[in-house]
Structure 1
Amino acid sequence: MDPTTTPALYYIDTDTTIGVLDTTNGETKLDPNAATTDHVNLTNAGYAALTNAYLGPHDTWALTDGTLDPTFPLAEDTAPNAINPYVNHPTDTTGQNPALLAGTTTWTTDATHGEALTLDGTTGYAATTGAALTTTNSFTVSAWVKLTTTPTRNATIAGQDGTTTSGFFLQYNYTHANAPGWALNIPTSDGSSFATAYAAGATTAWTHLVGVYNATTHTAQLYVNGTLTGTATNVTTSDATGPFTIGRGLFNATPTDFLPGTISNVQAWQYALTPTQITALYQQIS
């Protein structure tokens, strides 16, 4: 980024964004998920990956912080603001919300996702010191999650504390009227009834979840493994100004819904991502 120009200039490393390393020769080649048959034009997901790089997340908790030190107590926020024209420089808090670990948490190495954070489902979670998102505006939250067991109660992957209730719950929802499953649960006001975007069923395999709230259309959407699975309409949100939480929610002013499982790469955007942007996330075009 060069903030001295008018307008400011931003530079994106497209090779890194849509390229993968060819281990046979050490060169960068086009990610297969971004390549069309002519290998010249990009897929829609490939173009969306460039958008994700340009209009980047407000916060990224990769949850790889225990690689060198298994006792490291923080999940660092690595979202870059120098290449993100969507944020308000220089006072924006993009990339400045580390999450402190609490309770029983373990840095673990997974065969699929590498270093990740495993939580015990009883006390373990991570939380920032203050709000990461403005929940009355549009926002998107994504995460990879692998349940240790199928819970017999609600289990929250990500949320943001309000006064008595989280402003949203990206979670495994055990109490849904139809059947347990993945959900984006949003209280219409702090401590009130919920609007729910929902998908029946859940597995203990790695799953990519994305919850989207659009403040313009007043809709909430849930994507599971890149596919839209549930939509709630006429949704309004409360102004939750407390910590952003990973691995638990807040209900009746009490921390609750602790997640039994492993979480990787939690990200938060202060706008509603499009379907193709979400496809790029699921396909891990980076």
Structure 2
Amino acid sequence: MTDPSKEDQAVEALWKFEEVTPGVPASTPDAAERSGPMNLYGGAGLGPGQIDDSGLRLDGDRSYAEVPTVPVDTSSSFTVAAWVQASELSERPVTVLSAPGNVRSAFELRFLPTPGELDGYGSWELTFSEEDGAGAVTRRITNGEFYDVRDWNHLTVVYNSRAEQAQLYVNGVLQAFRCADDDGDGVPDDSTCRDQLAWADDIRPFKADGPLQVGRPTADTESEYFAGTVDDLWVFRGALSPSQVQVIANSWFGLPIEVPPGV
């Protein structure tokens, strides 16, 4: 893999979800004071969180939150990280984050349940679209390195535009499982085996011009609203390194609002 570049990194937003400002709509402040408050819709509010006292509670029934514009250029290097906990088991995909254009999302982060499994397992899926159109190429990355979607899981999306590489960390882990290929012919020895790599190259997302949405997909598909809690949503300009991702994933309290240290 190519190491993400640490050049031009900055905190562009941090929503801690510790307070709500009344209004129509109600909102929650950006602790970084860079991207502005996030608006709450459809009954979204605060509930018990992972960091400090509270997080953003979503009921899965058309509740969501959004900031009017995506805080970063999604065609350039960026990082988005958050704690996520589902409040219920799902038999369908549900969307945690989306960065929409007019038709497609530059990226979406969702949970995919494993068919036939009702124990909270599945995979987190990250998708990127190259163009904002119905026929655009969409690339998918998955990571299944977790135990239960109803536990708190830390999710980090890293996009390095120089390397054209995207990564999806779950609890600080970049899943890397390759199927056995003893004869080296490029075909798995077990025909049912599939490589599980939580990164991909040749990724070129378009620049999203819509809002950053929490809890629903760009297409506003009612069945894909997320039911659960999101906490400490960070947005960085620049691609964080693996060690920087570890700092956020492993630090529960007291992180300063700055780019984390790392190599």
Considering the TM-score relative to the shorter chain, is it more than 0.5?
Answer: yes
Helix, strand or coil at the partner of 1:227: coil
Contact persistence 1:196–1:231 (CA under 8 A): no
What TM-score do you get using the length of structure 2 for normalisation?
0.73
1:267 is aligned to 234
1:55 shift after superposition: 4.7
Q: Deviations over 1:179-206 (max 9, x none)?
A: 9411221112224242122112652100
Alignment partner of 1:213 out of 156, 159, 178: 159
The residue correspondences of 1:123-202 to structure 2 (distance < 5 A) are 123-174=62-113, 180-190=122-132, 191=134, 192-200=136-144, 202=148
- Structure 1 residue identity aligned to 2:63: G
Helix, strand or coil at the partner of 1:279: helix
Contact persistence 1:61–1:265 (CA under 8 A): yes
Structure with the greater alpha carbon radius of gyration: 1
Unaligned stretches of 5+ in structure 1? 1-50, 81-94
User: For this pair of structures, how many residues does the alignment match?
Assistant: 215
CA distance in 2, matches of 1:268, 1:145: 15
1:73 is aligned to 26
CA distance in 1, matches of 2:201, 2:50: 39
| Residue 60 (structure 2) pairs with residue 121 (structure 1) | yes
2:180 is aligned to none
CA distance in 2, matches of 1:132, 1:112: 22
Q: Greater shift after overlay, 99-108 or 134-143?
A: 99-108
Structure having the larger proportion of residues in helix: 1
Alignment partner of 1:96 out of 30, 35, 45: 35
Q: Percent of counterpart pairs with the same letter?
A: 26
- Structure 2 residue identity aligned to 1:248: R
What TM-score do you get using the length of structure 1 for normalisation?
0.68
CA distance in 2, matches of 1:274, 1:184: 18
CA distance in 2, matches of 1:165, 1:97: 24
CA distance in 2, matches of 1:111, 1:97: 22
Compute the RMSD of aligned alpha carbons.
2.7
CA distance in 2, matches of 1:118, 1:132: 22
Helix, strand or coil at the partner of 1:249: coil
1:231 is aligned to 199
Q: Deviations over 1:4-57 (max 9, x none)?
A: xxxxxxxxxxxxxxxxxxxxxxxxxxxxxxxxxxxxxxxxxxxxxxx9xx9542
1:244 is aligned to 212
Unaligned stretches of 5+ in structure 2? 1-5, 116-120, 176-197, 256-263
Contact persistence 2:86–2:150 (CA under 8 A): yes
Helix, strand or coil at the partner of 1:141: strand
Instruction: Tell which has more relative contact order, 1 or 2 (C-alpha 8 A, sep 6+).
Output: 2
CA distance in 2, matches of 1:175, 1:249: 20
1:159 shift after superposition: 1.9
- Structure 2 residue identity aligned to 1:265: D
1:151 shift after superposition: 2.0
